[in-house]
Chain A
Amino acid sequence: DSGVTQTPKHLITATGQRVTLRCSPRSGDLSVYWYQQSLDQGLQFLIQYYNGEERAKGNILERFSAQQFPDLHSELNLSSLELGDSALYFCASSPQIGSYTEAFFGQGTRLTVV
């Protein structure tokens, strides 16, 4: 158990809908990363938050947004869902930024858009 908790584990929804994925980082970790994993693209970096502030953006669609709350948990919001958004969404957390620190991954949320 990495200590990173993601909910829900599975989500099935229809095209055009909006969903929210939740991530609770390890205790004390300030940095949260979101990744999307699909069969043909591997793990794609979406966005990073550090202590409540957005720190880096990757290949995140405009239909997607995220935030990190004062208690450091994070939510990834996906709207106007399309079939191609079906993927595993992972959250990772690490204690700090700057020099290397290990990133710990949650078990992921499997999103299926039908």
Chain B
Amino acid sequence: QKEVEQDPGPLSVPEGAIVSLNCTYSNSAFQYFMWYRQYSRKGPELLMYTYSSGNKEDGRFTAQVDKSSKYISLFIRDSQPSDSATYLCAMSAGGATNKLIFGTGTLLAVQP
């Protein structure tokens, strides 16, 4: 079983829709939770970061972490064609390495 599970999609939505992306994980040591966005043939770039459980909002994006359920979500409101990309969840236990463990990524296409 992978430490981090993510539905690979693809997910296709019309412009303006609310998008929900999710990951589950098995390692209870994870305490830092991130969402990265990756455009085709580019490196991943950090979109949102959350420490421990709770919600965080940044513009049209909301990240949620539920440590009791080992479940994290990213919501995109009023989705735009420019949001079309692969979204990767990533997690870290911090400590001596801070290495990130990634989900497989969800490919999102927002249709104009």
Chain A interface, >50% SS class:
strand
Q: Which residue, of A44, A100, A107, has the highest number of chain B Cβ atoms within 10 A?
A: A100
Instruction: Given A43-B88, A100-B92, check contact A107 B43 (CB 8 Å).
Output: yes
Q: Is A111 positioned at the interface, with any CB of B under 8 Å from its CB?
A: no
Determine how close the nearest CB of chain B comes to the CB of A26; give it in whole angstroms: 12
A108 CA / B45 CA spacing, docked (Å): 12
B residues in contact with A107, CB < 8 Å = 42-43
A103 with B98: in contact, given A2-B45, A43-B44 (CB under 8 Å)? Answer: yes
The proximity string for B residues 72-112 relative to A, scoring 1 for CB distances below 8 Å and 0 otherwise, is 00000000000000001010101111111111110000000
By size class, the interface of chain A is 20 to 34
Q: Are B99 and A33 in contact (CB under 8 A)?
A: yes
Q: Given that A43-B88, A100-B32 are contacting pairs, would A105 and B101 also be in contact in the complex, using a CB cutoff of 8 Å?
A: no
Q: Which residues of A lie under 8 Å from residue B49 when comparing CB positions? A: 100, 102
Residues on B with C-beta less than 8 A from A45 are 99-102
Contact with B along A32-44 (1 / 0, CB 8 A): 0101000001111
Chain A, residue nearest B46 (CB): A102
Known A2-B43, A107-B43; 15 more pairs at CB < 8 Å? A33-B99, A35-B102, A42-B102, A42-B103, A43-B44, A45-B101, A55-B96, A56-B97, A94-B98, A97-B97, A99-B94, A100-B92, A105-B36, A105-B43, A108-B41
Name B's A-contacting residues (CB within 8 A): 6, 32, 36, 41-46, 49, 51, 88, 90, 92, 94-105
Show 19 residue pairs from A and B whose CB-CB distance is below 8 angstroms, ordered by the A residue: A4-B43, A31-B98, A33-B100, A42-B88, A42-B104, A45-B99, A48-B97, A48-B99, A50-B97, A56-B96, A97-B95, A97-B97, A98-B96, A102-B46, A102-B49, A103-B100, A105-B36, A108-B42, A108-B43
